[in-house]
């Protein structure tokens, strides 16, 4: 068995290990199996060479794929011929079958109709249709193609006038299985069996072949109806692609508008949730204030019930009706009353100054004196409040039970 060339193995290792935009689009868990398939293929058929090339799908997408380009042997009527083919390993390979095309040279024509090759060169054999992962492989595929092509060759040589006045009626000999004979016989114009082209159109429309055909071959082999049909299909495909692109652009614009509207609605939802939360907090605060008001109302109603019908005899000042509990409370009441009275006086002086009823220098003297007095009242109230707090703490400590050790 022929060993694979180190350069070819190194090429496969480099291609399958690439990362980034130039990487081949195969899944990582299948790259090792793809390498094994190609190594086995080139070992069994040295005329097939692994390469990378750009493949264009029917929807216009272009991807960088691996291919095996070269010739495969077939035996027809006891003579070995070489069929030029290209085997594309698609993105889903090896879980799905490869895409095989016969690649005729300028002096070859695809036989039409052919049971396994359509006019564009696409090959369809049962082995491809029944491809099974992971048992199916490229070596068995080539053997199967060689068997089917040997029964019915897909290519035949194009008959051209011979300028030699004494043409040799016999085909050139020395067709063999060696790599040199394979490569040389694939370019011979008379090394393929001759067949008669049929004028019947194919029963169905086939996808276009990725290989360009020469103008002389198209003019001599394709009928006008087939050319018209292909041109009409291409025109329809272009129209559909244009409509799809316009529809996609419209839908993308609508989606952008919907996304913007969604963002606005999201902000409004957050604002509403924040407002609801603030209203709930305000409602709780109002409920607490309502509870305080109700408690104070109960206290006042109780005081009124207790003092209803009592006469305030001998009281010259209504304020004397309220008695403080202790000396500190009375002092706090006096300081607070004086502070509030001075505050009202300062407000009245501000109003009088605005209307011009009080001279400015007298206003400053009065404000200075009142502010000084207000300061002393507030300082006294602060000290009284601290003394009351200390007295309350001492009272609570005296009332608390004593715990013995």
Which residues, in sequence order, are bridge partners of residue 62?
56
| CA-closest candidate to residue 7, choices 34, 42, 32 | 42
pLDDT of residue 186: 37
Give me the average pLDDT of each 10-residue run along the chain (405 residues). Answer: 71 84 85 90 91 88 90 88 92 91 87 87 90 89 91 80 47 38 37 40 40 40 75 87 90 90 92 95 94 91 78 62 79 92 94 91 94 94 91 81 50
Q: Are strands 108-110 and 155-157 parallel, antiparallel or unpaired?
A: antiparallel
Where exactly are the structural domains of the chain? Answer: 6-157, 324-399
Annotate 131-191 with DSSP letters as a single string: --TTT--HHHHHHHHHHHHHHS-SEEEPP-----SS---SPP----SSHHHHHHHTT-SSS
The answer to whether the beta carbons of residues 88 and 99 sit under 8 Å apart is: yes
CA distance 328 to 63: 95
pLDDT of residue 312: 58
Q: What are phi and psi of 164, to 5 degrees?
A: -75, 125
> ∠ at Cα 187 (185, 191), nearest 5°?
50
* Third-level CATH fold of 6-157: Ubiquitin Conjugating Enzyme (3.10.110)
Structure tokens belonging to residue 21: 């935009």
pLDDT of residue 367: 94
CA dihedral 208, 209, 211, 215 (to 10 degrees): -60
Over its C-alpha atoms, the chain yields an Rg (Å, rounded) of: 52
The owner of tokens 């067949």 is 195
Q: What are phi and psi of 65, to 5 degrees?
A: -125, 160
Which helix (H) or strand (E) segment is 218 a member of? Answer: helix 215-221
The answer to whether the beta carbons of residues 223 and 201 sit under 8 Å apart is: yes
- 159 contact partners, CB below 8 Å, separation of at least 6: 194
Buried b (16+ CB within 10 A) or exposed e, 289-300: eeeeeeeeeeee
Q: What is the 3-state secondary structure (H, E, C) of 82-118?
A: EEEEEEEECCCCCCCCCEEEECCCCCEEECCCCCCEC
CB-count exposure of residue 335 (10 Å: 0-12, 13-18, 19+): buried
| CA-closest candidate to residue 12, choices 44, 62, 49 | 49
């Amino acid at each position: 068995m022929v060993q694979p060339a180190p350069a070819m193995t190194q090429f496969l290792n480099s291609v399958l290990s690439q990362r980034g935009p130039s990487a081949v689009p195969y899944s990582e868990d299948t790259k090792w199996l793809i390498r094994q398939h190609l190594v086995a293929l080139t070992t069994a058929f040295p005329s097939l060479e692994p390469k990378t090339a750009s493949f264009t799908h029917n929807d216009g997408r272009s991807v960088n794929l691996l291919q095996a380009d070269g010739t495969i042997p077939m035996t027809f009527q006891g003579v070995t011929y070489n069929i030029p083919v290209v085997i594309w390993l698609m993105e889903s390979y090896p879980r799905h079958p490869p895409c095989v095309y016969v690649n005729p040279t300028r002096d070859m024509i695809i036989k039409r109709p052919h049971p396994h090759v359509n006019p564009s060169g696409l090959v369809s054999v049962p082995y491809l249709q029944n491809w099974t992962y992971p048992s199916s492989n490229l070596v068995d595929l080539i053997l199967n193609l060689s068997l089917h092509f040997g029964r019915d060759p897909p290519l035949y040589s194009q008959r051209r006038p011979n300028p030699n006045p004494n043409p040799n009626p016999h085909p050139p000999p020395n067709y063999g299985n060696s790599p040199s004979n394979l490569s040389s016989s694939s370019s011979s114009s008379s090394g393929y069996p001759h067949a008669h082209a049929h004028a019947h159109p194919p029963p169905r429309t086939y996808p276009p072949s990725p290989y360009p055909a020469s103008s002389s071959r198209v003019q001599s082999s394709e009928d006008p109806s087939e050319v018209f049909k292909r041109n009409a299909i291409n025109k329809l495909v272009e129209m559909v692609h244009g409509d799809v692109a316009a529809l996609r652009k419209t839908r993308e614009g609508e989606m952008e508008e919907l996304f913007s509207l969604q963002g606005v609605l999201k902000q409004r939802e957050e604002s509403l949730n924040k407002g609801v939360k603030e209203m709930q907090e305000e409602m709780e605060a109002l409920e607490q204030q309502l509870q305080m008001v109700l408690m104070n109302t109960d206290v006042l109603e109780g005081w009124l019930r207790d003092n209803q019908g009592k006469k305030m005899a001998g009281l010259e000042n209504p304020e004397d009706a309220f008695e403080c509990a202790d000396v500190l409370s009375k002092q706090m009441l006096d300081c607070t009353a004086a502070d509030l009275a001075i505050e009202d006086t300062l407000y009245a002086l501000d109003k009088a100054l605005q209307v011009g009823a009080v001279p400015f220098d007298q206003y400053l003297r009065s404000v200075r004196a009142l502010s000084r007095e207000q300061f002393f009242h507030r300082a006294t109230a602060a000290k009284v409040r601290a003394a009351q707090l200390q007295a309350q703490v001492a009272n609570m400590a005296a009332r608390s039970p004593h715990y013995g050790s």
